[in-house]
Amino acid sequence: MSDEQDTILGDSPFVLFDAWFADARRHEPNDPNGVALATASPDAAPSLRMVLLKDHGPDGFVFYTNAQSRKGGELLANPQAAMLFHWKSLRRQIRIEGAIEQVSDALADAYFASRPRDSQIGAHASDQSRPMASRGAFLARIAKVAARHMGRDVPRPPHWTGFRLIPRAFEFWQDRPFRLHERRHFLPDPAAPGGWTSTLLYP
């Protein structure tokens, strides 16, 4: 077995995320911003689904959804969540855990306005996560919403918004041969506000 050196280096998990995310955008063939989002109900029943990361920075990681969906309801009732990025082509993963806050109406409005018109109409027509009688019924609702907004901008529905995950922990995972993977865990540094400490974890 070769004597391998640590490769997950750096003091800031945000800087490291930026570097890995840039690699994913160059090499991952499908949805490099796709991320598994785990939420839980107030009584700790978990659920999991894929969402698309739409913004990120030192203030957190932003995605958008229908607040009346299952995930939206769980985020409002139990404002904490976990994310998992898995970039198979790079053989890398990043786990992020933290608190949840809603983005401002202005930010949600701006992002909604940037979406394709058909996606905007779909946000009005869909009762996300609720039972649907048939695909045809859904398509009829889409047509009705499209007719109602013919010739004018489609406003953001009040129940459609964004959420920001504010990290309290990161874990970066790099595949290694023989399942001897490299893992580095970051936590806020209590002695240096805004700083982070890190340690390697056994695979």
CB contact at 8 A, 124 and 157: yes
CB contact at 8 A, 159 and 67: yes
Q: How does pLDDT run across 21-44, given as a tens digit for each residue?
A: 999 999 998 999 999 999 999 999
Q: How confident is the model at residue 1 (pLDDT cuts 50, 70, 90)?
A: very low
d(CA 164, CA 64): 9
Q: How does pLDDT run across 99-139, given as a tens digit for each residue?
A: 999 999 999 999 999 999 999 999 999 998 889 999 999 99
Q: Which domains does the chain have, with CATH numbers?
A: 13-116+158-201 (2.30.110.10)
d(CA 65, CA 69): 8
More confident residue, 142 or 2: 142
Active-site positions? 179
Q: How does pLDDT run across 140-193, given as a tens digit for each residue?
A: 999 999 999 999 999 999 999 999 999 999 999 999 999 999 999 999 999 998
d(CA 61, CA 13): 13
